Amino acid sequence: MNSAHNRALARRYAQAFLNVYGSELTPAIRGRLRELHRFLSMQNSILFFLTIPTIDDEVKLRGLAFLCEKFELPDSVKKSMFLLLASKRAILLEQMVGFIDILYNKEHAISSFSISSACPLSHTDKEFLVSFLKAHTGDDVLYTYVIDKSLIAGIRMCSDTHLWEHSIARQLREIQLLLVR
């Protein structure tokens, strides 16, 4: 199967999960699903091992159950993982978990942003930036905050679909582009 087909299939599995179990997703569970997604994207060998036919399915089921226990995920997630394994589509697990977050956020008008600044921001500054993002997206805003010295000075706020940056690093990139032309 090609990558586009896998993404479309993973998205359908995620939508089916949300149709059945979406009302059970608390902010804490969604956070743990994001942690699982990050883990699986960094440890893609796990998905590979789930596709090896010579490894007994019982071993794979125990491994998936262990993941659910480790990330404190509900039985609904475990059932979805087992379904992927039973249908020989365990390779889609990481993408499905990622789509659960994306589709849930879309359905509930939530945008996730990474806010970076060159130096530490006060709580008031962060609240101002979140208010700005809410006003411009019309969504509730979840954010992670990072200090990024490579900005030199300024702010960068990005999500999957939006980017606002006002920094010295950006100005230098724009000058470099003008000089290259």
For 126-169, how does the pLDDT look when each residue is reduced to its tens digit (9 = 90+)? 999 999 999 999 999 989 999 999 999 999 999 988 999 999 99
What torsion, rounded to 10 degrees, do the Cα atoms 75, 8, 157, 125 define? -30
Q: What is the mean pLDDT of residues 23-43?
A: 94
Predicted structure pTM score: 0.76
pLDDT tops 70 at residue 56: yes
User: What is the extent of the structural domain holding 154?
Assistant: 111-180
Across 164-179, b (16+ Cβ under 10 Å) vs e yields eeebebeeeeeeeeee
CATH number at residue 151: 3.40.30
Whether residue 99 is found in the same domain as residue 146: no
What pLDDT, on a 0 to 100 scale, did the predictor assign at position 161? 86
Is residue 95 very low, low, confident or very high in pLDDT (cuts 50, 70, 90)?
A: very high
Whether residue 47 is found in the same domain as residue 124: no
Percent of the chain with pLDDT over 70: 99
Of the three residues 106, 130, 148, the one that is the final residue of a domain is: 106
What pLDDT, on a 0 to 100 scale, did the predictor assign at position 180? 87
What pLDDT, on a 0 to 100 scale, did the predictor assign at position 37? 95
Whether residue 92 is found in the same domain as residue 119: no
pLDDT tops 90 at residue 75: yes
Of the three residues 44, 74, 106, the one that is the final residue of a domain is: 106
Residue given tokens 């998905």 in the structure block: 47
Q: How many domains does the chain have?
A: 2
Whether residue 82 is found in the same domain as residue 154: no
Query: Distance from first CA to last CA of the chain, Å, rounded?
Result: 41
Separation CA 178–CA 172 (nearest Å): 10
Q: What is the mean pLDDT of residues 106-110?
A: 94
Percent of the chain with pLDDT over 90: 93
pLDDT tops 90 at residue 1: no
Whether residue 30 is found in the same domain as residue 89: yes
Nearest to 145 by CA among 165, 129, 162, 161: 129
Whether residue 116 is found in the same domain as residue 90: no
Whether residue 50 is found in the same domain as residue 67: yes
Whether residue 9 is found in the same domain as residue 24: yes
Q: What is the mean pLDDT of residues 54-64?
A: 95
Whether residue 137 is found in the same domain as residue 72: no
